[in-house]
């Protein structure tokens, strides 16, 4: 096996007592089942026939996408919804380059996606000898968008390689990994060597927690800033306990939405903006505790988030811990156990503080809401929120209404608000929502798209119909790439180009797929149609013509 980040030597502990010869493909599928994978998303080809042969009759469900980009977003949506790795299976060459985009999204947003691909025969890999689906450096393509990737050159190495892939998906920051199998490896028969034992993850350093508490006891006005790491670690209860003990308001990034309930009086949500009431609160603060956030360029509006004199950072990833803002000190650890460790020590110290308190936090939130982007479209967002159950999932595309939702749609539970925050890929919402609904079939899942973004992956409607996915797909339709038009208006003196769209009639499109399609003109009708669509076991297209944003 050849690995990108480090050499991988599987432990050879001799053949198992039952020396059953299995194909590489069977060993891959066997390992998937052993690692608890119930579903894979993909598109077959002649290079993956051995894998599909093994999937037939296995307990692993295969969901047939219409484009590998869709399969990648579905795997990402699945992972975001339940926290377990989402798995995609693609062919060599075009299958790999097609899936690189959604894997890029999963990479920037820290979502654990496993891509399994074929490659040409071992003897021909990277040599461009005219094989079907030749790609000069397939692993290089995927190295750009994954945390770890490797080629498996012997069928006997498959279990160890799969074990390492799952280890990579579960240690540290969750991010995509890729394994490729030359097609003759998938057909090769071998006795599997058992995988090495998993390595347990380390607990946060007790001395670092002691020092954090020491430092916190000298502070009077602390604010918590919570990112996607808190969602991944299900850190809500200890974060609320910490906030309540310190009287500390909680600001979230977009990726942190839902880590703590946005109707708690101390929770502000993703409403920080330079100059608003939340900004004022931060400028008054003497301490900021950042949990599971890289304090990224976008989230901090170009690094303009006010940082008080004491900055404590908690992150599972030692590199992210010091990225963008140097902490007074940092704690390497997962958001839940590190925060719980601080709370336990504060309780022991009998540490009392009023801090800003819930009244200040709630006042800042309400003031920031009235000044937030898209406040004039609130009736639509309220209708969507009322229609989706408290634990239901809103899956957003890159569209103006979703930008408004980032601030104004309250999320109450972890893994209920998805947005392609880092890579900003149009076409995320529909396939990611399909993946989410497959991961959590009983949850109410709603996709929100713009008319432009929807067309990037609308072919996945076919997947949703075939799999009978009950999914309202709301298209806020202004026949425009408004986000771009808005930028051309503000930054280019209104010199518009390439932003007007001639769209299909989405109700007719629904008709072509033989699924319900409706057009609604106000928020009440939108609410009713989402509720009705959530009760169906088929997708529903809801076209909402809206006033121009620009």
Ligand X SMILES: Cc1ncc(C[n+]2csc(CCOP(=O)(O)OP(=O)(O)O)c2C)c(N)n1
Residue 188: which of 221, 232, 143, 155 has the closest Cα?
155
**Dihedral of CA 193/201/235/275: which sign?**
negative
CB-wise, 198 or 424, nearer to ligand X? Answer: 424
* Contact of residue 425 among Mg ion, ligand X, none (CB under 5-8 Å per partner type): ligand X
* Contact of residue 241 among Mg ion, ligand X, none (CB under 5-8 Å per partner type): none
Indicate whether 451 belongs to the interface with Mg ion (CB under 5 A).
yes
CA 359 → CA 242, 266, 366, distances in Å? 17, 8, 11
* Contact of residue 117 among ligand X, Mg ion, none (CB under 5-8 Å per partner type): none
CB of 28 to Mg ion, least distance (A): 41
Residue nearest to ligand X (CB): 450
Pairing state between β 148-151 and 177-182: parallel
Indicate whether 426 belongs to the interface with ligand X (CB under 6 A).
yes
* Contact of residue 483 among ligand X, Mg ion, none (CB under 5-8 Å per partner type): ligand X
CB of 474 to ligand X, least distance (A): 12
Check if the beta carbon of residue 113 is closer than 8 Å to that of residue 88.
yes
Residues 6+ apart with CB under 8 A from 35: 162, 163, 166
Indicate whether 28 belongs to the interface with ligand X (CB under 6 A).
no
The site map against Mg ion for 480-499 (x = CB under 5 A) is: x-x-----------------
Indicate whether 480 belongs to the interface with ligand X (CB under 6 A).
yes
Q: Which stretch binds Mg ion (CB under 5 A): 93-101, 295-303, 473-481, 506-514?
A: 473-481
DSSP state of 255: T
Q: How far apart are CA 338 and CA 340, in angstroms?
A: 5
Indicate whether 478 belongs to the interface with ligand X (CB under 6 A).
yes
Burial class (CB in 10 A: 0-12, 13-18, 19+), 122: middle
CB of 549 to Mg ion, least distance (A): 8
Q: How many CB atoms lie within 10 A of CB 309?
A: 10
* Contact of residue 507 among ligand X, Mg ion, none (CB under 5-8 Å per partner type): none
Among 107, 409, 419, 481, binds ligand X (CB under 6 A): 481
CB-wise, 176 or 452, nearer to Mg ion? Answer: 452
CB-wise, 391 or 479, nearer to Mg ion? Answer: 479
Q: How far apart are CA 326 and CA 99, in angstroms?
A: 35
Residue 466: which of 80, 117, 77, 62 has the closest Cα?
62
In the sheet with 267-269, reading across from the earlier edge strand, the strands are: 267-269, 250-252, 222-226, 287-291, 310-315, 329-332
- In DSSP terms, which residues pair with 475 in a beta bridge? 449, 543
Q: How far apart are CA 458 and CA 540, in angstroms?
A: 13
Q: Which stretch binds Mg ion (CB under 5 A): 3-11, 356-364, 376-384, 451-459?
A: 451-459
Tokens 């000044």 locate to 371
Indicate whether 450 belongs to the interface with Mg ion (CB under 5 A).
yes
Among 204, 452, 472, 539, binds ligand X (CB under 6 A): 452
Per DSSP, the three-state class of 521 is coil
Check if the beta carbon of residue 341 is closer than 8 Å to that of residue 251.
no
Q: How many CB atoms lie within 10 A of CB 469?
A: 24
Pairing state between β 39-42 and 22-23: unpaired
Please report which helix (H) or strand (E) contains residue 418, including its range: strand 417-418
CB of 466 to ligand X, least distance (A): 25
CB-wise, 279 or 478, nearer to Mg ion? Answer: 478
Q: Which stretch binds ligand X (CB under 6 A): 34-42, 252-260, 388-396, 450-458?
A: 450-458
Terminal alpha carbon distance of the chain: 54
Check if the beta carbon of residue 116 is closer than 8 Å to that of residue 54.
no
Please report which helix (H) or strand (E) contains residue 319, including its range: helix 318-321
Indicate whether 460 belongs to the interface with Mg ion (CB under 5 A).
no
CB-wise, 414 or 420, nearer to ligand X? Answer: 420
CB of 134 to ligand X, least distance (A): 26
CB of 255 to ligand X, least distance (A): 17
Residues 393-422 that bind ligand X (CB under 6 A): 398-400
CB of 480 to Mg ion, least distance (A): 5
* Contact of residue 484 among Mg ion, ligand X, none (CB under 5-8 Å per partner type): ligand X
* Contact of residue 174 among ligand X, Mg ion, none (CB under 5-8 Å per partner type): none
Number of residues lying near Mg ion (CB under 5 A) = 6
* Contact of residue 334 among ligand X, Mg ion, none (CB under 5-8 Å per partner type): none
Number of residues lying near ligand X (CB under 6 A) = 16
- In DSSP terms, which residues pair with 311 in a beta bridge? 288
CB-wise, 285 or 430, nearer to ligand X? Answer: 430
Among 118, 168, 337, 482, binds ligand X (CB under 6 A): 482
* Contact of residue 400 among ligand X, Mg ion, none (CB under 5-8 Å per partner type): ligand X
Maximum pairwise Cα distance, the chain: 75
Indicate whether 460 belongs to the interface with ligand X (CB under 6 A).
no
Per DSSP, the three-state class of 263 is coil
- Residues lying near Mg ion in the complex (CB under 5 A): 450-452, 478, 480, 482
**Which residues form the interface with ligand X (CB under 6 A)?**
398-400, 424-426, 450-453, 478, 480-484
């Amino acid at each position: 096996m050849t690995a990108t980040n480090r050499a991988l030597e599987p432990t050879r502990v001799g053949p198992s007592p039952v020396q059953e010869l299995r194909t590489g493909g069977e060993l891959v599928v066997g390992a998937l089942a052993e690692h608890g994978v119930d579903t894979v998303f993909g598109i077959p080809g002649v290079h993956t026939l051995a894998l599909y042969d093994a999937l037939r009759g296995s307990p692993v469900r295969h969901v047939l996408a219409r484009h590998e980009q869709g399969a990648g977003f579905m795997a990402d949506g699945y992972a975001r919804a339940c926290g377990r790795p989402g798995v995609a299976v693609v062919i060599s060459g075009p299958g790999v380059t097609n899936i690189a985009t959604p894997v890029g999204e999963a990479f920037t947003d820290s979502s654990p996606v496993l891509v399994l691909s074929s490659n040409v025969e071992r003897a021909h890999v990277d040599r461009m000898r005219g094989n079907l689906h030749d790609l000069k450096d397939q692993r290089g393509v995927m190295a750009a968008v994954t945390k770890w990737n490797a080629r498996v050159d012997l069928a006997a190495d498959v279990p160890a390689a799969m074990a390492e892939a799952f280890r990579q998906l579960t240690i540290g920051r969750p991010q995509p990994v890729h394994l490729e199998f030359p097609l003759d490896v998938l057909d090769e028969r071998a006795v599997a060597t058992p995988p090495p034992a998993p390595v347990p993850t380390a607990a946060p350093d007790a001395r670092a927690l002691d020092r954090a508490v020491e430092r916190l006891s000298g502070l009077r006005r602390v604010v918590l800033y919570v990112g996607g790491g808190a969602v991944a670690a299900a850190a809500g209860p200890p974060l609320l306990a910490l906030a309540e003990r310190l009287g500390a308001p909680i600001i979230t990034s977009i990726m942190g939405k839902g880590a703590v309930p946005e109707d708690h009086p101390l929770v502000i949500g993703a409403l920080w903006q330079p100059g608003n009431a939340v900004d004022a609160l931060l400028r008054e603060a003497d301490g900021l505790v950042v949990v599971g956030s890289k304090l990224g360029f976008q989230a901090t509006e170009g690094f303009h988030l006010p940082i008080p004199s004491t900055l404590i950072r908690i992150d599972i990833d030692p590199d992210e811990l010091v990225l963008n803002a140097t902490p007074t000190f940092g704690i390497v650890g997962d958001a839940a156990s590190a925060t719980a460790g601080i709370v336990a020590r504060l309780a022991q110290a009998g540490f009392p503080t009023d801090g800003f308190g819930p009244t200040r936090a709630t006042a800042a939130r309400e003031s920031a809401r009235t000044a937030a982007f898209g406040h004039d479209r609130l009736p639509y967002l309220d209708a969507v929120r009322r229609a989706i159950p408290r634990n239901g999932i809103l899956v957003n595309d890159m569209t103006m209404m979703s930008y408004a939702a980032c601030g104004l749609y309250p999320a109450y539970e972890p893994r209920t608000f998805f947005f392609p925050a880092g890579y900003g890929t149009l076409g995320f919402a529909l396939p990611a929502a399909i993946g989410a609904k497959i991961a959590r079939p009983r949850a109410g899942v709603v996709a929100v798209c713009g008319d432009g973004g929807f067309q990037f992956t609308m072919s996945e409607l076919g997947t949703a119909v075939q799999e009978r996915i009950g999914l309202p797909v709301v298209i806020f339709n202004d026949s425009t790439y408004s986000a771009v038009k808005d930028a051309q208006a503000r930054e280019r003196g209104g010199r518009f180009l390439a932003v007007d769209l001639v769209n299909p009639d989405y109700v007719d499109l629904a008709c072509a797929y033989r699924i319900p399609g409706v057009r609604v003109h106000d928020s009440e009708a939108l609410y009713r149609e989402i509720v009705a669509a959530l009760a169906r076991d088929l997708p529903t297209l809801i076209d909402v013509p809206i006033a121009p944003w620009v």
